[in-house]
Amino acid sequence: MHTIWMREHNRLASELRQINPIWDGETIYQEARKIVGAEMQHITYTHWLPSIIGPTGMNMLGSYQGYNPMVDASISNVFATAAFRFGHSLINPVLQRLNYNFTSISEGPLPLHKAFFSPWRLVEEGGVDPLMRGLFSVPAKLKTPHQTLNSELTERLFEVAHEVALDLAAINIQRGRDHGLPGYNAYRKACDLREAETFDDLQYEIRNEKLREKLKHLYGHPGNVDVWVGGILEDPVPGGKIGPLFRCILVEQFRRLRDGDRFWYENPSVFKPEQLTQIKQSSLARVICDNGDNITEINQDVFVLPKHQNPQLVKCQTLPAINLRFWTECCHVNIFMNIRGCVDERFKSLSRSLVGRQRRAINYSYPSDRHSSFAEQSNSNATINSNPRLDGINEDLEVQGGTEDSMHFSDVYEERIEGLERMLEDFKKEMRQLKRKVKKLEQHCKIGDTSKSKSCVEENGTLRRNEETWSPDECTQCSCKVLACDFLE
């Protein structure tokens, strides 16, 4: 999944670069990152979370009401340490690897313990596609009273890297104690669930009687039960994958993550309305299609088994996709821009010279960086100190901090004056160059073909007349507006 999302970021960045050639690398990266984050938020809250917490949990979560600066969006200890590790009970002991016909590849299924620390399998055994097909077409592990976590996790975890294999269940229990989490009963009380005085009080959450007897034998009293153990053993709520305790913790955490995030994708200040509409077209199925090596068919909702959907599989190109055309930055045609709406490289030097950072005062640099001219510059301070504009300031500095502070201030003042003078000279030079270029453009307009000087060109090269209107697709209408004399390169 990390590989799939990395590819999604790079795919978006490549498309953004094509539609916005004037963007620099940092702008492209940040906008692609922003879109990927929004896709993840939309998929998580709209497609994945309902399958985990069920309809009741979604009603508890409620809809987005806007950014609330009073909400703490950090991750709670109990969420990170216990509740969000519910997924360990859903992991299959064997990873199915399927080809384009949804039959096993020649290397066969992969036992889970052989998948850890084996990145070479992606290169030599079919790439990411077989694993992705196995994940979206094979059911997750069924949690039973006799086996909550499969034996690959409790008896053979990281067997390749350790002399003695680890036990994930034991690690989860010990982690909760290391983090100082209160017991199962304490969180039941916090979630408005009945505190259990006896294990029979848990009959509605842990319905298997033999399982409750095992807990009684191990812990003696419900108040001694670790929160991860109690939460993971609860029967799933209707329509979800977790019990009522973990549902409570997840709902509270995902509400905080959403409402306390000022960059939340539905916040009106983050995306334009038309861009947000496109973000809501995204799905994990489409992300997998766009970034797999050769995935052409997929179930429309990858969080639901194909056999529970009609049709079971659909062609990738039929799935809705984000149209990045709504991220196109348009600009009017004028003498500073060419016909494609891109800033001419010859006119960029002006802005660079005006905002460029000047070198800092030499006596604030490291001694090893100071060259031989430093002494000459220090001697020249006497001339600046005699400047009538600085006399009053220097006198104040002598009273407050002595001659050394006065020297430092003078050097800084000198540096700023020199920087301003250089900037003004550069500005005058650029203005002279601009005047010559404008004069040439005016001459070109006078002697050039009038049909060309009153037209614009589409990306595909189609020539359009001034005031002409056309529709490249059903969503967009374009109009050729020539605001000044333009020229074709």
The answer to whether residue 44 scores a pLDDT higher than 90 is yes
Q: Indicate whether 39 pLDDT > 60.
A: yes
Number of H helices, E strands in the chain: 21, 8
Across all residues in the chain, what is the average pLDDT? 82
Condensed to tens digits (0 to 9), the pLDDT of residues 11-22 reads: 999 999 999 999
Determine the pLDDT at residue 348.
43
452 touches 466 (CB < 8 A): no
Position 281, amino acid: Q
Radius of gyration of the chain (CA): 33
pLDDT value at position 105? 94
Residue 176 has pLDDT above 70, yes or no: yes
Please state, for a pLDDT cut of 70, what percent of the chain lies above it. 78
Return the pLDDT at 69: 95
pLDDT tens column, 151-164: 999 999 998 888 88
Closest CA to 417 of 425, 400, 353: 425
Please work out, in degrees rounded to the nearest 5, the angle formed at the alpha carbon of residue 78 by the alpha carbons of 74 and 82: 125
Instruction: Find, among 125, 122, 124, 111, the residue nearest to 157 by Cα.
Output: 111
Span 373-418, pLDDT tens digits = 444 444 444 443 444 444 443 444 344 444 555 555 566 566 667 7
Look at 51-55, 316-320, 405-409, 440-444 and tell me which has the smallest mean pLDDT. Answer: 405-409
Please tell me which residue, 187 or 144, carries the higher pLDDT value. 187
pLDDT digits (tens, 9 = 90+) for 99-150: 999 999 999 999 999 999 999 998 899 999 999 999 999 999 988 888 899 9
pTM for this predicted structure: 0.68
Higher pLDDT, 433 or 312: 312
pLDDT of residue 416: 66
Please count the other Cβ atoms lying within 10 Å of the Cβ belonging to residue 292.
19
Largest CA distance in the chain: 98
Percent of the chain predicted with pLDDT > 90: 63
Phi-psi region of 395 (alpha: psi -120 to 50; beta: other; left: phi over 0): alpha
User: How sure is the predictor about 334, in pLDDT bands with cuts at 50, 70 and 90?
Assistant: very low
Say if CB 484 and CB 333 are below 8 A apart.
yes
SS3 category, 255: helix
Q: Report d(CA 246, CA 410) in Å as an integer.
A: 66
pLDDT the model gives residue 171: 96
88 labeled part of a ligand binding site? yes
Least confident range from 27-41, 192-206, 385-399: namely 385-399
Say if CB 232 and CB 215 are below 8 A apart.
no
Instruction: Quick: pLDDT tens for 432-474.
Output: 888 887 887 777 666 544 444 456 777 777 888 887 888 877 7
**Average pLDDT for 356-369:** 42
